[in-house]
Amino acid sequence: MTSTERRSAWARLRSLFGRPESTLFAPVTVDLPELLAVHRGSTVSFETPAKGGGFTFQVEVRCDWCAEGRLDEAALSSGIDRYQASMAERISYRVRDIARLYEPFHVEEAECAVNDALREGECFENGLVTCTTVAHLQPAPEVLDKQREASLELQEIEHKYAKSELQVRLLREASEKWQDFLAEGLIGERADDDTMSWLTPWAVLLAEQPDRAATEVGDMFQQRQNQVDRFVKLLGRQRKEYESQDLYEFVIANEQQLGHAMRLFGLPLPGDLPPGGGMPEPLPRRPAAG
């Protein structure tokens, strides 16, 4: 090889490796597609047996799909299509085992249990496609009809007792006012428990029928006068009995009746006298036989 040929070979090598570094490693720009998300909603409906298998639950599951990635919209939608077709079968298998644990009339508990199992949702292709689900359960039509009847009966009972409770409260308030009004007419008598209890039936009657106040109040005091007359006659009979028997026997035989009558008419009993009021006068004795 001549010197000219050697120089020509070195010239070619320098032309290959002697270029500037910026020429050998020039930056390359790569355009990446933007992150895109496709959302879709669908509904899965089916029946699944309840406990015992005699009735079913009506199940409706709302599916919210999302496909997200650096792909075009058509590719993401195609990813959802691949899994949406089999979603009904996947969900029905999961719900079936749970629903069989609950009675057909315990739909609320069954719905909560199903949603607890479906809360995590579904994930496909390492997160490219996801699906969140919410289930709604209804009882069978026959069970639902019975539940409606029971609910109406329960509502009627609750309203009945709520009305009764309100009536009692209003009647008590009104009767207490009438009782105070009637007690004001008992001039000179103590308004103790026995006296007020005697007024209670009349107060209740006037609370329900206030328009009858004029006649009923008159009847009330007439009845009280009749009681007084009967009491006077009773005392007359007791006096005659007293005259014919020993004082101790008389008290023992008539203490309860006399005590009740004295309390009813507001008269103080010997044991009810205030301190320092002095001793009651002794009962009269029969005159000694001459």
| Any domain includes 63 | yes
Q: Which is higher by pLDDT, 92 or 260? A: 92
pLDDT, position 109: 94
Q: Both 64 and 135 in a single domain?
A: yes
In this structure, are 51 and 166 located in the same domain?
no
Does residue 107 belong to any structural domain of this protein?
A: yes
pLDDT digits (tens, 9 = 90+) for 225-263: 677 677 777 777 766 766 666 656 666 666 666 666 666
pLDDT, residue 2, reads 54
> Does a structural domain hold residue 211?
yes
Could you give the number of structural domains in the chain? 2
- Residue 34: band (very low, low, confident or very high) from pLDDT cuts 50, 70, 90: confident
Nearest Cα to Cα of residue 36 among 59, 4, 6, 70: 70
Q: Which two tokens stand for residue 122?
A: 């579904």
Residue 213 near residue 206, CB atoms below 8 Å: yes
pLDDT greater than 60 at residue 141: yes
> Is residue 178 domain-resident?
yes
Same domain flag for 169 and 245? yes
Q: Are residues 263 and 152 in the same domain?
A: yes
Question: Are the CB atoms for 87 and 42 separated by under 8 Å?
Answer: yes
**Position 6 in a domain:** no
Q: Which amino acid is at 58?
A: Q
Q: What is the CATH number of the domain that holds 91?
A: 3.30.479.30
153 and 243 assigned to the same domain? yes
Q: What is the pLDDT of residues 170-228, one digit of tens each?
A: 878 877 777 777 777 665 555 555 566 667 776 777 777 777 666 666 677 677 667 76
Q: What stretch of H or E contains 42?
A: strand 36-49
pTM for the structure as a whole = 0.48
Task: From 87, 111, 139, give the residue that closes a domain.
Answer: 139
Could you count the other beta carbons within 10 Å of the beta carbon of residue 55? 17
Q: Which domain holds residue 76?
A: 36-139
Whose CA is closest to 199, among 217, 187, 213? 217
Q: What is the dihedral of CA 41, 47, 48, 49, to 10 degrees?
A: 160
pLDDT tens for each residue of 13-33: 566 555 555 554 556 666 667
- Give the span between the Cα atoms of 37 and 79, in whole angstroms: 12
Residues 177 and 77 in one domain: no
Q: Using CA atoms, how far apart are residues 172 and 252, in angstroms rounded to an integer?
A: 39
- Over the Cα atoms of the chain, what is R_g? 51
